[in-house]
Amino acid sequence: MYTSMCNSHSHRKVTKVHSAEVVISYMTQLRRSSKKISSLFKNLEYYGELILIGGAVRDLCSNVLPRDFDFVINSSETDFEELFEGFQFKKNRFGGYKVLIDDFEFDIWSIKNHWAFRENILEPIEENIVKGSFFNIDALQVNISRGTIDASIYNEVADNGILDIILDDYAERLNPNPEVNIVRAIVLKNKWGLVLSDRLTFYIDRWLDQTHNPKLKLLQAEMKHYGENFITEIDYQSIINLPHTKRW
């Protein structure tokens, strides 16, 4: 039984993930539930193995229905537009695709167009996909085509309860969406009952020091990313108004 995405103050517990079984079972049901979804997956797998990454894997393993699904196609190809004929889709400026089917949203990337590989931060191979995540809690993946899972970095969060940045300093500064990263840090901290690492706290402090009207930018980022504002005023004030050493 899957529940919908909980609000930002409904704490859940991060538990270790060792098997892809739950995710594979759900994705199999999803294929069977919709001819269009089944057709989409079949078309994508023609080009390469289909890898589900990040929050969708985490949520499914925690019996939470994801709000969207992020896929990487392990393929040397980067142009998949012909696959989406007959589907409602749009291509973003970075080469990824968003496909809408019924109430489901699929974000699809070629492995070469995935951010960390596009910026030449990491070699574009399957083993490096999780290493290109910004947060450790997003660093997990399931190869839907082979039924394999990589959750080693994610499982460390279950041991220590710390939300941290896993990219090196150079890659961290290249990331184009600090506002979204900070909003997600607040949501993930509250949703999973995590503590922010010293490095993540410094990342937030540095952005605040360099940003005019940070609250407005965070509210805009929250609306753009989630489609709604559910982070509380208390959360925002704890970030913006308190001295750095007392923010968290």
Buried b (16+ CB within 10 A) or exposed e, 120-135: ebbebebeebbbbbbb
The predicted model scores a pTM of: 0.88
pLDDT at 104: 94
Mean pLDDT across the stretch 173-183? Answer: 94
* DSSP strand pairing (104-110 vs 97-101): antiparallel
The contacts of residue 212 (CB under 8 Å, 6+ apart) are none
pLDDT at 243: 52
Mean pLDDT across the stretch 67-91? Answer: 91
> Which pLDDT band, with edges at 50, 70 and 90, does 167 fall under?
very high
Mean pLDDT across the stretch 51-55? Answer: 96
- Residue 1, pLDDT > 70, answer no
- Residue 174, pLDDT > 80, answer yes
> Which pLDDT band, with edges at 50, 70 and 90, does 244 fall under?
low
Alpha carbons 48 and 76: distance in angstroms, whole number: 8
Greatest pairwise CA separation for the chain in angstroms: 54
Read off the tokens for 39.
């057709």
Alpha carbons 214 and 192: distance in angstroms, whole number: 24
Mean pLDDT of the chain, nearest integer? 89
Alpha carbons 118 and 106: distance in angstroms, whole number: 20
Q: Provide the residue count of the chain.
A: 248
Structural fold of domain 1-158 = Beta Polymerase; domain 2 (3.30.460)
Alpha carbons 70 and 105: distance in angstroms, whole number: 9
The closest alpha carbon to 5, from 77, 103, 83, 112, belongs to 103
* Phi, psi dihedrals of residue 21, rounded to the nearest 5°: -55, -45
pLDDT at 245: 46
Locate tokens 């990491």: which residue?
Answer: 122
Report pLDDT digits (tens) over 89-110.
999 877 899 999 999 999 999 9
